[in-house]
Every structure is written in C-alpha cells, then in structure tokens.
Amino acid sequence: MAEKYTIGVDLGGTQVKAALSDDEGNFIAKLKERIDKDSAKAISDQIIRIARSLCSESGANSTDLKSIGIASTGPLDLRKGGLINPTNLPFKFVPLTKPISRELKIPTLLVNDCIAGVLGEKVFGAGKGLDNLVYITQGTGIGGGAIVDGHLLSGKDGNAVEIGHIVIDYMGRLKCGCGKRGHWEAYCSGRNIPNFVRMKLRGISKKKIRDSLLFKNVRGDFSKLSSEILFKSAKCGDDLSSELVEEIGRLNAVGFASVINAYDPSLITVGGSVALRNKKLVIGPIKKYVKDYTRNRTPRILITPLGEDVGIYGAIATVLKSET
C-alpha cells in the first residue's frame, strides 16, 4: 500500500501539538502535550512517541507514513536539524530531525514556525490562490512569514521576515529580548506588553490609575501585570485598560504598515495567542490606524481561519511543498 499520511508537528515554547493528516489537510488524529523538558533528547523521544500514538489511535500502520514536518519557534539550525539556544528550553542544542528520522525511518523536515504559518495559510487557509500574502503571529513574541509573487521569502540565514524586530520607536525607550532597543516586539508582544504598560502609566494621573479596574486586577502591584490581565480588564469596559489596548493597537498598526509597505501583500492573516484570544481588540485598532502609515494599497487583514492549528497545517504544507 502506498504511503498516504503526513504528521505535522507544532513545537512551541510550552506545548507540542501534532496531527496525522492526509494530503488534503484532513486531520485523522490529533494530540497535544506539554513539552517534556527533562533533557534535550527527551523532546525528540516525545515526538516519536506522539507519532506512534497518532498511528495507533487512527488504525494507521507506520508504513502508511510518508514523512513528518516540524514547525518550531527558533532559533533553528537547519544544517544540524535542531534548535539552537531556544528561548524557552534550558538546552544549548535540541536535536530533532536525525533521531526522529532514524527511529521512524521517514524523512523529517524542520521549518521556522512563522514561515510554516504563511505556507499553511496559502495551502489550507485564507491564502488559497494568492501569490502575495503575509502571516503575522502576535503571541509571546511577534514574527512573520511572507510569500511575494509566489515565492516564499527566506533570506541568506532564513531570517528574511523577522518583522518583530522592525523599529517602531527610534527613541528606543524599551529593550527587546534580542538585546536591541525600540523593536515592535518590545512593545506589543505578549511577553513585553506589561513593560509597555508600566512605561505608559508614568504619564497617567495616580488617581486615574487607582480608580481603574486594572489597578484592582493587579491588586495594586503592576509587577504582577500580564497581557492577559490587561485584555481581560479592557473587555470588562475599564477605561484605562481600553486606552492602553488602543495605544498598543496603534503601535501594531505602525508595524503592519511597515510590512505592507515592504511586501505589498493582498492579504495579511494574524495568529498567535494574544491575537487569537482577543480577536476584536487586536484587529480593530490595526484596521482603524494602518492607513495613517501606509503608502501602498491596504490589504485584507483578518484572523487566520486555521486558528491554533496554523502551525500544524504549516508543517504539513512544508512537507507537501518539499515533494513537488
């Protein structure tokens, strides 16, 4: 019998998600686990175990598998086939492709999760039939993938669309996780939104702060602030939180405008935990303000219809692309 199934894996900072899929992107079985952080080797062992569970759960044989694609947050070393100094894992190197393909005896492909995202969107999502599209993720960090004139952009080191590090503040008031200042991600990513809020609060009257629901929700201690608390307070109608969310949206619009001016897409889809959990509050202000900063014609901007599975779809799309 011919091999018919692909396994798509989305390796994030805390979770690994995977699905067994046919070539049309129909998931036969799906699994989600916390990443096993016991050792660097434990992660490839976990993916091998998940692949076998997906097969047994769906009655598939290991000989039915043709390949496995892994979309992962970086930084990646594609030559060695693993993660190098990953932000959320305490290891210098996490080997992936070699141990997995040796054990499962199928080709194993590794790809940057944002590059996978835009491919997944084009093959399975809102980007079908389009030659110019960008995928932007606003989660713990900010990243993107772009297809321009039908070409998937990569760059000399695979970092052509590191849009989270676009400079949106030349004064460089906030420092980014990469060590440089003024980057979009330093203001608007899930991890850094609290830094931005604390900076803005210095210019707001103490009375307004003390009267806010936000103040109550952090119990008067802004070192306890998270992006979840900010968006939750805004959804409850808190004025201060809503103003801060609007301001974050304006900064997002500055970032989106740079992307539009650089790549001229006809569609931008948006994923990542912050955007997926707060769809209206994230997309609304971007659409409202982006025209203030663009020169190019504004594209359609929408939340990815692939939702939380965009990484898995991207991993599968990467495998399919490698076969053509």
Judged by beta carbon, residue 17 or residue 183, the one nearer Zn ion is 183
CB 33 within 8 A of CB 93: no
Judged by beta carbon, residue 183 or residue 191, the one nearer Zn ion is 183
Judged by beta carbon, residue 60 or residue 262, the one nearer Zn ion is 262
d(CA 65, CA 107): 10
Tell me the CB-side half-sphere exposure of residue 222, using CA atoms within 13 A: 19
Shortest distance, CB of residue 152 to Zn ion, whole angstroms? 23
Shortest distance, CB of residue 172 to Zn ion, whole angstroms? 11
Shortest distance, CB of residue 34 to Zn ion, whole angstroms? 27
Binding to Zn ion by CB under 5 A, coded x per residue (else -) over 39-78, reads ----------------------------------------
Tell me the site size for Zn ion, rule CB under 5 A: 4
CB 142 within 8 A of CB 259: no
For helices 40-58 and 97-104, give the axis angle rounded to 10 degrees: 40
Judged by beta carbon, residue 85 or residue 298, the one nearer Zn ion is 85
CB atoms within 10 A of CB 98: 13
DSSP structure string for 4-25: -EEEEEEE-SSEEEEEEE-TT-
Shortest distance, CB of residue 196 to Zn ion, whole angstroms? 14
Binding to Zn ion by CB under 5 A, coded x per residue (else -) over 151-190, reads --------------x----------x-x----x-------
Q: Residue 224 burial (CB < 10 Å; 0-12/13-18/19+)?
A: exposed
Judged by beta carbon, residue 178 or residue 199, the one nearer Zn ion is 178
Q: Residue 248 burial (CB < 10 Å; 0-12/13-18/19+)?
A: buried
Q: Residue 84 burial (CB < 10 Å; 0-12/13-18/19+)?
A: middle
Shortest distance, CB of residue 195 to Zn ion, whole angstroms? 13
**Alpha-helical runs (H) found in the chain:** 40-58, 97-104, 113-124, 184-188, 193-201, 206-210, 213-217, 227-235, 239-263, 273-277, 279-289, 310-323
Judged by beta carbon, residue 177 or residue 305, the one nearer Zn ion is 177
Judged by beta carbon, residue 165 or residue 191, the one nearer Zn ion is 165
Pairing mode, strands 82-84 and 76-77: antiparallel
Shortest distance, CB of residue 182 to Zn ion, whole angstroms? 9
d(CA 309, CA 299): 23
Shortest distance, CB of residue 184 to Zn ion, whole angstroms? 8
Q: What is the DSSP letter of 143?
A: E
191 binds Zn ion, rule: CB under 5 A:
no
Shortest distance, CB of residue 192 to Zn ion, whole angstroms? 10
Judged by beta carbon, residue 154 or residue 159, the one nearer Zn ion is 159
Site residues (vs Zn ion, CB under 5 A)? 165, 176, 178, 183
